[in-house]
Amino acid sequence: MNEMCLFCGICRGAVAAQVIRQDEWTVSFRDINPVAPGHVLVVPRKHVPSAAQCDDPEMWGHLMCAVVETARAVGFEERGYRLVVNCGEEACQTIPHLHVHLLSGRRFSWPPG
The stretch 15-26 carries a mean pLDDT of 97
Cα–Cα distance for residue pair 30/1, rounded to 1 Å: 21
Number of domains into which the chain is organized: 1
pLDDT band at 1 (very low <50, low <70, confident <90, very high): confident
Q: What is the pLDDT of residues 36-77, one digit of tens each?
A: 999 999 999 999 999 999 999 999 999 999 999 999 999 999
pLDDT band at 3 (very low <50, low <70, confident <90, very high): confident
Contact in structure between 83 and 100 (CB atoms under 8 Å) = yes
Q: Which domain holds residue 15?
A: 6-104
From 47, 97, 99, 101, active-site residue = 99
Residue 91 in domain: yes
Whether the per-residue pLDDT at 113 is higher than 80: the answer is: no
Residue 113 in domain: no
Query: pTM of the full predicted structure?
Result: 0.95
99 is catalytic: yes
pLDDT of residue 75: 96
**Angle at CA of residue 51, ends 35 and 94, nearest 5°:** 40
Whether the per-residue pLDDT at 29 is higher than 90: the answer is: yes
Residue 57 in domain: yes
Residue 109 in domain: no
CATH number at residue 12: 3.30.428.10
**Angle at CA of residue 40, ends 36 and 43, nearest 5°:** 145
pLDDT of residue 2: 86
Residue 110 in domain: no
Sign of CA dihedral 101, 106, 108, 113: negative
pLDDT of residue 37: 97
Residue 23 in domain: yes
Residue 45 in domain: yes
Residue 112 in domain: no
